[in-house]
Structure 1
């Protein structure tokens, strides 16, 4: 796994990690055709080595990194264990994989407006059986095009080789895993952290949604950053909010409103890190493109996510982890691995989680550079490029299953979330003398005011 971590260290301009600096513990793996448990542990370790590098830069002291592979895999599913209440279902009733007349397609209908597009193209459907009959009359490629062109979300199942030969596959596979740039500026800031809370005093403006971006900012909050998440009016994520808002305050702004734009611009000027996961042109259309953000805050550490990459014909396409798995051949390879008759996804949304931890690592690395030189920076990542990283590790033979979760895997103290009490899994990452801990319980979207503390 050190070789996998070395790839990330290279993109982050960090020294290659050694066995003494990074240790992985526990055996076993999630059942998958791919090295899902390994990328879980390695992506989390990447954030650890970025924190260790920051601490060494500021204190001169070496900090080792330890990652529990088993807990990493569990966190890639869910860290939250409610007590006396239930998390709402993650998936809309008609979301999922459907057989067309010449293959398979996945419809992503979790957001009401995405479901509306699917029903506008295919006809109303109150259940999966009705939708299945309607999908069967289409070819996979024609239906994918029709839904995407109408503003919805869908992905035809392709094989790995088909994706490698596809114009978008060719484009995104040529991109680096983490594409980084620095921008000279006179924005040097003093380190306001300490060995126990290395990101204390760091302001993170969070413009992300399900699921990679919120994973990144949750990790930053765990090391002490002040994370302020901004959502538009009416947006909700009932299936994941309790999972990903840990350690954050969550507010709402309407960026079509003059008054709210003024608030947003003030927040952006005073932020250290901006993390966003909208499509590549979304902020630009709102008047906050790359150049405008840099003018507002020359020293900004700008970390962004796109589903299908930053070049090629699909760079503006809507996408989610489950769709990218279908497009890039992962679900097809899973089907072959299980000798199944339908697509077999990864056992967890590993592209989202892995990309999220890599985004966090890039943000921390950007902070180290700004502390040293005053430079601002930009980092770009994508689910499709993370998919290539996973596929590059090859398919894996059967491994021992992970040991079942026990009460000893849970934090000792309950978390009083906005929905009720819960327990969290213990963090999978340990940096010497720097525990992961969160100052705020999970909170509802829009429950706070859009101000820095």
Structure 2
């Protein structure tokens, strides 16, 4: 196992939690001395995995909390300590798993034919068919009906890599399973290996932008447009809302979504609908963007830009804006424009094979959580705050970029745990001390509190999660 940890088969040295946190701050262009007091408690393994999922959870969440405190301090607030428990952070990497509505678990959102299959050449592919148009496209490509048995039989007539390419050519979400060595040798793996977990680039000139006057909460008065769905991007917006930002989530009636995820990731946000296929929708979003501090988007690279909202255009419209973009594969390499989800990136980039080998089971074996999604969401929130701090000091418009593949390369670089599977899988009955109850648009919600705690301004969600389109497309 030690020989499969890092790119090229190198097992990296495991860093102490504070070292990992300081490295992220340096990557964002922030001085470690500005971190302030941070308490990192707990030890690994926090979840059953050969990877340092607990360390990744603690580091990414711990990057955000002191950054929010630094924003508050720059506005005239007092210094305050941040603390992150590894146990709590690791559990938050599974936040969608702990939801209860009116005391009941939420239904499983996975489509009946989603998952892994063995192709005719003996290799495995993973299908992501949770959105109706992706399911319909896969069944059409396979000329199959919608049963697992029919899909299994149809895939026996394909080689895995051929089906991966054919699916990508028509915009579907499929990847072949690879080990680390195969991924590292692949052109996209080589491109992703060079990606840092976080990229912050100045994209335009603007004078320094003072932060809003001091308020009760660290991010109060900052406006965030949130054009994201599923997990990673919505986690970013939810985290900024937890520290007081005004987050307006924008969706469209024709785009599919998962209500069971919205109940979790929609906490603290208002939500409106705009159709960017129409001039009226584009004009409305342009008006909102002109008053935003942050434009957050997590759609396929180029999709939002095609409607007139590329980062360069946004910087011209609203000098000083911070654009935050999430992608699956990093906008680089032959797969730079492909759609992707956490489960697909895990499969393609070697995690499912490496985890199975460490556990002594037949692959695929996924990580114990959507770790790439959650880590990417917190990295994007941290990068956004770092860019806001740099905007206040240096001026400029900024572009923050995070990818699931880049996050995966970073997670590999944290090293492996020889006894990681000794950690018991957490159970719902054991986490009552970390849960909170609130209203929601679907009923009474029981959910996990945020683990990035600030002692003077504890994180909280001032607004309940509600169905998409509940509010008007306007700032509060």
Quick check: 1:2 aligned with 2:18? yes
Q: Distance in 2 between matches of 1:244 and 1:96?
A: 24
Q: CA deviation at 1:17?
A: 6.5
TM-score normalised to structure 1 length? 0.95
Quick check: 1:48 aligned with 2:65? yes
Q: CA deviation at 1:433?
A: 0.5
> Equivalent residues in 2 for 1:170-181 (5 A)?
170-181=190-201
Given the alignment, which residue of 204, 214, 226 partners 1:206? 226
Given the alignment, which residue of 55, 64, 68 partners 1:38? 55
**Per the alignment, in what secondary structure is the counterpart of residue 200 of structure 1?**
coil
Quick check: 1:59 aligned with 2:53? no
Unaligned runs of 5+ in 2: 1-16
The residue that corresponds to 1:439 in the other structure is 462
Quick check: 1:416 aligned with 2:435? no
Q: Distance in 1 between matches of 2:52 and 2:222?
A: 34
Q: CA deviation at 1:86?
A: 3.9
**Per the alignment, in what secondary structure is the counterpart of residue 417 of structure 1?**
coil
Q: CA deviation at 1:18?
A: 9.8
Change (3 A) 1:318 1:406: closer
Q: CA deviation at 1:137?
A: 2.2
Unaligned runs of 5+ in 1: none
Quick check: 1:401 aligned with 2:426? no
**Per the alignment, in what secondary structure is the counterpart of residue 343 of structure 1?**
coil
8 Å Cα contact 1:50/1:364 also seen in 2: yes
Q: Distance in 1 between matches of 2:355 and 2:211?
A: 48
Q: Which runs of 4+ in 1 moved over 4 A?
A: 17-20
The residue that corresponds to 1:123 in the other structure is 143
8 Å Cα contact 1:108/1:114 also seen in 2: yes
8 Å Cα contact 2:102/2:445 also seen in 1: yes
Q: Distance in 2 between matches of 1:13 and 1:396?
A: 30
Q: Distance in 1 between matches of 2:357 and 2:311?
A: 42
> Equivalent residues in 2 for 1:181-192 (5 A)?
181-182=201-202, 183-186=204-207, 188-192=209-213
Q: CA deviation at 1:260?
A: 1.4
Write out per-residue CA displacement over residues 366-385 of structure 1, whole angstroms, 9 at most, x where no aligned residue: 22222334322111110000
Write out per-residue CA displacement over residues 242-265 of structure 1, whole angstroms, 9 at most, x where no aligned residue: 111001111110111111111110
Q: CA deviation at 1:210?
A: 1.1
Structural RMSD (CA)? 1.9
Q: CA deviation at 1:187?
A: 5.8
Change (3 A) 1:200 1:275: same
The residue that corresponds to 2:111 in the other structure is 92
TM-score normalised to structure 2 length? 0.90
Change (3 A) 1:287 1:60: closer
Quick check: 1:300 aligned with 2:327? no
The residue that corresponds to 1:319 in the other structure is 340
Q: Distance in 1 between matches of 2:263 and 2:156?
A: 36
Change (3 A) 1:204 1:18: closer
